[in-house]
Every structure is written in C-alpha cells, then in structure tokens.
Amino acid sequence: MKKLLYITDQDEYMDHSFIAPLFETYLKKHLTVDIVYFTEFKSDFEQKDSHRFTMPTRYKNILLDELNRNDVPIDSYDYIMVRNDISLMQHVLEEKKKYHYKTAFRLSIPKRRVQIRCCIAEGETTFLDKMTDKFKTFNETKIINECDAFLPTSPSMHKEFFPHVTTKTIICPPGIDPKMLHPNIQHRGEEKRFFYSGTLDKVREFETVLDAFSQLDSATWKLIISTRDPQYAHQLVSQYKGFENNIEIHNAKTKDALLDLIAKADIGVALLPDYPVYNTSTPVKIFDYYTSAIPCIMTGTEHTNTVFTDCNDAWFSKFERDAIKEKLEYIISLSKDSITEVGIKGQKRLLDIKNYEKIAEDIAMKLEAL
C-alpha cells in the first residue's frame, strides 16, 4: 500500500472533525496515511500513535529533516500533501528531488480573504491588504503549479481564489460520515425548533437572521444557538426585545455534544452573507445537521444549488431579512412530518454525493493516477 504524509496547518488540540473521518478513517482503506499536527505548547517532537505526529511549530522551516531525525523516514512516502500553508508547501517542493515523492496542496479555506472580509466588517481600511493579497496570490499560484495536484474544497473555490492554477485538480469537499449518523429525536413541543451552529461575528451578519425572526407573526418557534462565544451571542440577542424566551444559547464543547443538541431540533440554519469566502463551499454545519437528518435553511448560491434542491431536500433563501422571514413562515406552516421528509431526502442526497467513504476512494484513485 502506498504512503501519504499529510502535513496539516492545525494545532493538535483543535477540532479535527474534517481531517479525522476523511484522512484518519476512510483514506486509510486505500493508503497508509501519516498525519503531522503542530503545537505551540511542546518543545519536542511527539509520536502520538503509529500514524500521528506532533511537531513544535518552531521546526516548520526544517520540518522534513526534523521528521527524519525522529525516525519518520521521508523517503518512505509516495505522496506529501500540505494543508493551506504555502510556505510549508514550498519547503516540501524544495526537498522533492531528494526524496522523489509526489506533491499536493490542499486548500480548505482562503484564510487571507477571510481576514480581509473581517477587516471590512470592522470598518478597517483594506486597500493595501487587497493589493498585497493580489501579489501573494500570484506567487502562491506559481508554487501550487509546481505541485503534482491541487485539492480545493470545490470547483468554485478554485475558480474564485486561484483561477490561474493549472496543475491537476482533485476536489476535496467536506462530507457526511456514514458511520456517524445520529438519531433524530422527535421532541413533543408544538413549536418548530431551529438550530444554528458556529461562529457569530460581524462578518456573518447574524443580526439579519435575527431581524427576520423578530418579524414573524407566529410565536410557535424556538431558535437554539451553539457557539464558542456565548457572551457575544447574548449581547446580540439582547438587542431584540420580546422573544428572549424563544432563544437558547449553548456552547457545545465536543462534536458529540453538538450532535446531541442538533438531534433535538427540527431545522438547521446555515444562512450566510453572499461573499465568496462563504458561498464557494458547503458550510460544515450543514453536514452536521444532516447527520441527524435535520433539514436546513441555507443561502441559495451557485454552489449550494449543485448539491440541494429548494423545498425538496433543503430550503433556500436570499440573505435578506424579508426573504428569510418569508421562508421561515413557510417552514413553520409545514407539518413536522413534512419537515422530517425533507431531512431524510437531504441526508440521502449527501450520502449519495458527499459521502466521506466515496470522497476518500475518489481522492486515492486520482492520487494513484498522478
């Protein structure tokens, strides 16, 4: 079996809910996969198990030598893949002739563009940032084109952020884990329970969603929020008087705790502004919802339109208060059985086309063909 070294840009203590099922479970059916995580908190290399290693970040610029020194033989790998870190990718490319591996660059999120969007939301000047971004993108494109493969999250991410990358492309999307399907717990309350999971900040403009809820004629709804910053969520919700009892705020500490909360809801919420950093891939929260067959109201974009069908296996809305309000009223008017049916259809759709088991098989086959 051929060997892949996957060099992440993640700290060992971060949520690895994307990496774990795809690279630690399903891809290992086709390749021997070793994974490198980084840490700011340890001074020495650590082998967590036979296939996972933790490296102090200070060794990034000599990573391969340091792995060799710790009995991780680089010449044993057929492929080395780097996630998001272009400097690490350049380092791996520089060592390629010595070890004769194939190289791949994985783009999971355009971090610099996200930061620019954050600055815009905070009202900060971004002219120089945008000019720097163009220059850096030009240089990054040259580096990626030296690789044997480029793995963006979606074709639209490739088109939007790296249109001049011409090396072989292998799409590496988020997906649903068929082994993690979570029972949907049908609550007995009369209200329709909506659930939002994820970050709340100025960029995501969640007040637009709250504005829509505040305009609803019906009071038979509840919005449950799970976020890592519950204080910000409370501050945001406190601006809306009259429906405090309709909103619950949680901070699920683990993936299992999050899925337990989602399973008790009726509808997932994945409404995000129509910015390229959000609309060029399917938000991971959508997969979390459909893991429990919870159907989702989401922003209708060119990307989501290729995955779901409005009013069949999901609901689409423009990211505007009145449009969201109209779609929420429609959903609240539906019977619970009708909502459940939409969720079941959506889960089946994802299991058919965005299934980690199938994604891993496709990636392994395309790596083999390099």
pLDDT at 111: 74
Token pair recorded at residue 208 = 């637009």
pLDDT at 349: 97
pLDDT tens profile 189-208:
789 999 999 989 888 999 99
Token pair recorded at residue 52 = 């996972």
Residues 6+ apart with CB under 8 A from 287: 174, 175, 176, 350, 354
Q: List, as one string, the DSSP characters of 203-248.
A: TTTHHHHHHHHHT-S---EEEEEE-S-HHHHHHHHTTS-S-GGGEE
Residue that wins the pLDDT comparison between 307 and 244: 307
Q: What percentage of residues in the chain have a pLDDT greater than 90?
A: 68
Residues 6+ apart with CB under 8 A from 309: none
Domains of the chain: 3-175+355-368 (3.40.50.2000), 192-353 (3.40.50.2000)
pLDDT tens profile 323-346:
999 999 999 999 999 999 999 999
Mean pLDDT of 312-332: 96
Taking a C-beta distance cutoff of 8 angstroms, is the pair 108, 14 a contact?
no
pLDDT at 131: 77
pLDDT tens profile 208-259:
999 999 999 877 899 999 999 999 999 999 988 878 789 999 999 888 899 8
**Residue 65 clears pLDDT 70, i.e. is over it:** yes
Distance CA 174, CA 18 (A): 7
Angle at CA of residue 368, ends 365 and 370, nearest 5°:
115
Token pair recorded at residue 308 = 């779901």
pTM, two decimals, is 0.90
